Structure 1
């Protein structure tokens, strides 16, 4: 029986059914599995330090790699989730190698310097996350690559808390080369197959295109939201995209979205992060004001120039990178 820390956490944790070879951890009651990605023979860069002027100290491991994510009840903080999981790992024989909180880790630089499962299966607030890496001690004669290691990333982002667990260990015998279920998506079971896939006909509407892309890929670039360098001003061309996104949210009242701002690489990292956040907030504000959508269903963040879709070496590429995307978060 795993010992728990305090009456609150004892009532908060419930067993979670896992495959036999996975870590037998207990997660909070109401935990919703978002993704399960297993690679029989792969590699993972395990973070061992926060971000500094020398980057992040990492140890590259090869073997079986298992990546899983969950959405957890929003009542718990990131540390409230991490603490009992850390204790369970200790009870299983793991030793903590490194642990940090958002600011201690390095905030933005750490978050984008480590492996994170893509949204919407994992969301990380740049100011509210906890990270931990741990390993079982090597046995006499055991090769370093056979060591069992694990990393935990917990973040409270918007309306919920998200958990990512990445495990590595020796290659399992008689295991398929790679198994990965279909990418998780919000519980929009009422959506028909025809609506969920793009219409190849000549009369396909732009609204259906945005809806289809959100449902199929989990994110979409909001067309027409083209910014001049250093500007957060929305032009008239933004109206159509915002109307289409508002209609999608009205058609799917259970869905939530994250508005993500992006910049080109002109200027410092800090200034671009601030600019991208202001762009995202400007779009969020316009969407809510003009549509009446509940503001709790729309979150906003900015990632600066960390996720370009074109080269920043040309004016055309920089213009493409100055964009805003909508990421589909949840059906609850």
Structure 2
């Protein structure tokens, strides 16, 4: 079944290696944004949601193809983008290993633990994206990520053929992700923002149930402001997070208010142009620490800066 307005155009996704070409049909309005092919490379393919600070992956090595497309259309949901592609993969003999949508994937944390091509080659809406991983025999694996902006859909396909693989596990045999990125260290806010695409602004403080920032000086905000003022084409999303006290809807609203408070501080105190900033909220859906302790809840009450473009 195709989504509304889904006009089919055959595109050959050829890849060197024994697995050969994969033929997928994309909308006629699809435009190729990226096509990178490497004879020998690696890719960590997610096979389960991000949870508990970890994301299970299969570590693959082989011929790697990284491709992305922009679909010029309005009103096309991520599900409408993914469904016909999933059906085509199954028809081509692929078994679906794992499929998820935004919160079921692990939300914000899944987005930043899995490989995403840098903008403008790929755009991911933190509130609406879908992912699936699939396998066609032991030597052919792929990860498919779809999302959209206000007026376009985006598709990313990373395929590994002729693979050697290993599933990362703990001592009990449970699958594990790669080690988490290092925590923010003083003076390294922008280095982490640029290298990993997001960073915790860890010198901000919010009390439970409050969106009010204290009035102390913030080195992380100063560093972020300096970066944005020196790079006026760069844009950053401020994403608020809460602890797990209270209802989800209330916490999502509160987390967005916290992000908005940081935005207003950057504009009013640090003179950052408003057009370089946006504010979002995830509530308690992306914790970085246990909510059973006060220390964990304090760590979860945070705002992160997310780099939206590379230039």
TM-score by length of 2: 0.61
1:220 aligned to which of 199, 217, 229? 199
Matched, 1:328 2:307: yes
**More helix by percentage:** 1
Where structure 2 has 5 or more consecutive residues not aligned to the other structure, the ranges are 50-55, 117-122, 168-183
Taking the aligned partners of 2:84 and 2:31, their CA distance within structure 1 comes to 13
The structure number with the bigger radius of gyration is 1
C-alpha distance 88-246 of structure 1, shift in aligned 2 (>3 A): same
Taking the aligned partners of 1:99 and 1:43, their CA distance within structure 2 comes to 12
Bigger mean CA deviation after superposition, 247-256 or 303-312: 303-312
| Contact 1:119–1:327 (CA under 8 A) maintained in structure 2 | no
| Contact 1:34–1:121 (CA under 8 A) maintained in structure 2 | no
Taking the aligned partners of 2:151 and 2:229, their CA distance within structure 1 comes to 19
Deviation at 1:265, TM superposition (A): 2.2
Q: Which residues in structure 2 correspond to 1:1-332 (within 5 Å)? A: 10=9, 18-20=15-17, 21=19, 24=22, 28-32=30-34, 38=42, 45=47, 64=60, 72-73=69-70, 75-76=72-73, 77=76, 78=78, 81-82=81-82, 85-86=85-86, 88-89=88-89, 92-94=92-94, 108=103, 110-112=104-106, 116=110, 118=112, 121-122=115-116, 124-125=124-125, 127-131=127-131, 146=138, 152-156=144-148, 162-165=154-157, 172=163, 175=164, 209-237=188-216, 241-288=220-267, 291-295=271-275, 297-332=276-311
C-alpha distance 130-319 of structure 1, shift in aligned 2 (>3 A): closer
**Partner deviation per Cα, 1:115-162 (whole Å, 9 max, x = no partner):** 9452695475464334556666xxxxxxxx859675533122579755
| Alignment coverage as a number of residue pairs | 269
CA RMSD of aligned residues (A): 5.0
C-alpha distance 7-112 of structure 1, shift in aligned 2 (>3 A): closer
Deviation at 1:35, TM superposition (A): 11
TM-score by length of 1: 0.58
Deviation at 1:209, TM superposition (A): 3.3
C-alpha distance 79-164 of structure 1, shift in aligned 2 (>3 A): same
Taking the aligned partners of 2:233 and 2:88, their CA distance within structure 1 comes to 34
Where structure 1 has 5 or more consecutive residues not aligned to the other structure, the ranges are 48-59, 137-144, 179-197, 201-205
SS of aligned partner of 1:118: helix
Taking the aligned partners of 1:227 and 1:30, their CA distance within structure 2 comes to 43
| Contact 1:61–1:168 (CA under 8 A) maintained in structure 2 | no
**Partner deviation per Cα, 1:256-310 (whole Å, 9 max, x = no partner):** 2221211122223333233222222332344345535252x43332222333334
**More strand by percentage:** 2
Taking the aligned partners of 1:288 and 1:75, their CA distance within structure 2 comes to 33
